[in-house]
Amino acid sequence: MASQDWFDKDFYATLGVGKDASEAEIKKTYRKLARQHHPDSNPGDAASEAKFKEISEAYSVLSDTEQRKEYDAVRAMGSGARFTAPGGPGAGGFDDVFGGMFGGGQPGGGRGYTFQQGGGEYDDLLGNLFGGGRFGQTSGGYRGFGGPTKGRDFTASTTLDFITATKGEQITLQASDGKPITVRIPAGVADGQKIRLRGKGQPSPDGGEAGDLILTVNVRKHPVFERDGLNLRVKVPITFGEATLGATIEVPTLGGDPVKLKVAPGTPSGRVLRVKGRGVETKKGTGDLLAEVQVAVPSHLGKEASEKLEAFLAELPRENPRDDLIARAKA
């Protein structure tokens, strides 16, 4: 029963605060422990669930000014005190304890009490002892050992352009009640990523924490660049002559001036050239720009150009670049 629990349980020790802790300190400590041991954060962990109930029970008493005073008074009598039912061993104990507190007891067990679950003398006694109402109830509804109810989470989505998602930006959303919500989009947010906005959900019905807003971010595709983690990828066409003889080419960057890259002679189509530090910049690090070269083949040649190309090919070694591919396919 609640009265006996108060003798046996040190709610201050459960929360890890001193007996002179302020209301703000108790609330701050409870929220930290509640987040750590909440069943949603520890699915299937019986120990965390039990701990969560303990800290919630402790907070439900210590967060209430009147209950805290009564709890301190009960604890001051010593943890050795016990409540006993009338007629049992030490039948006068219950009277002695509450008689001492409220002046109504008779030494030796003159006045008796009976407990009836769900009503009767039990409710009257605990109602008077704990300041009215049944144990575990608040003006906002029954809270049991879970403390005040947290408001429901809301979900929303927003679509950003590629550069905004990469660089990060502050945006404003319109809530369902018409109020604007300012959101800071971190640099490097990815398509489909969810951002949790604490306290932006439904208010608590009984004075607890408001719910959260879960924002899903959709990112529009860029016509040139693609994300690869923190790296940016871009496909860069080069001519047959540049690939064969080598060249210095310009490569675009996201939101900046082009950079120059050196293409080595004999560069094949598909080779990736890396530009350090020109990828996505976040607090966790900065990626690179990966430029994949693609050899552009002329769609048509004039007669003179065709004759010169044929003469050039005639000078090349008689090799079939597909011989190795065919051999490996038969292995």
Q: Give mean pLDDT, residues 118-132.
A: 34
State the fold for domain 226-305. Answer: HSP40/DNAj peptide-binding domain (2.60.260)
Domain boundaries, the chain: 2-81+114-142, 154-219, 226-305
Tens-digit pLDDT profile for residues 297-311: 888 889 998 998 889
What pLDDT does 5 receive? 64
Look at phi and psi of residue 91 and say left if phi exceeds 0, alpha if psi is from -120 to 50, else beta: alpha
CATH of 154-219, one of 1.25.40.80, 2.60.260.20, 3.30.470.20, 3.40.630.30: 2.60.260.20
List beta partners, residue 184.
170
User: 78, exposed or middle or buried, with CB in 10 Å at 0-12, 13-18, 19+?
Assistant: exposed
Query: What is the distance between the alpha carbons of residues 184 and 311, in angstroms, rounded to a whole number?
Result: 62
Q: Do residues 126 and 135 make contact, with C-beta atoms less than 8 angstroms apart?
A: yes
The pLDDT confidence band at residue 162, using thresholds 50, 70 and 90, is very high
How many CA atoms lie less than 13 Å away from 202 in the CB half-sphere?
Answer: 10
Of 92-96, 103-107, 216-220, 326-330, which one has max mean pLDDT? 216-220
The pLDDT confidence band at residue 104, using thresholds 50, 70 and 90, is very low
What pLDDT does 133 receive? 32
What pLDDT does 177 receive? 67
- Tell me: pLDDT of 242 over 90: yes
Query: What is the distance between the alpha carbons of residues 262 and 271, in angstroms, rounded to a whole number?
Result: 12
Put simply, whether the predicted model's pTM sits higher than 0.75 gets the answer: no
Query: What is the distance between the alpha carbons of residues 223 and 226, in angstroms, rounded to a whole number?
Result: 9
Tens-digit pLDDT profile for residues 263-290: 999 999 999 999 999 999 998 899 999 9
Higher pLDDT, 252 or 95: 252
What pLDDT does 161 receive? 93
Q: Do residues 2 and 130 make contact, with C-beta atoms less than 8 angstroms apart?
A: yes
Query: What is the distance between the alpha carbons of residues 204 and 196, in angstroms, rounded to a whole number?
Result: 17
Tens-digit pLDDT profile for residues 178-216: 778 888 889 999 999 999 989 888 888 888 888 998 999
Tens-digit pLDDT profile for residues 40-92: 778 888 888 889 888 888 888 899 888 888 888 877 765 444 444 344 444 34
Residue type, 291: A
Domain covering 2-81+114-142 in this structure, CATH number: 1.10.287.110
User: Do 154-219 and 226-305 share a fold?
Assistant: yes
Buried b (16+ CB within 10 A) or exposed e, 314-330: eeeeeeeeeeeeeeeee
Higher pLDDT, 278 or 124: 278
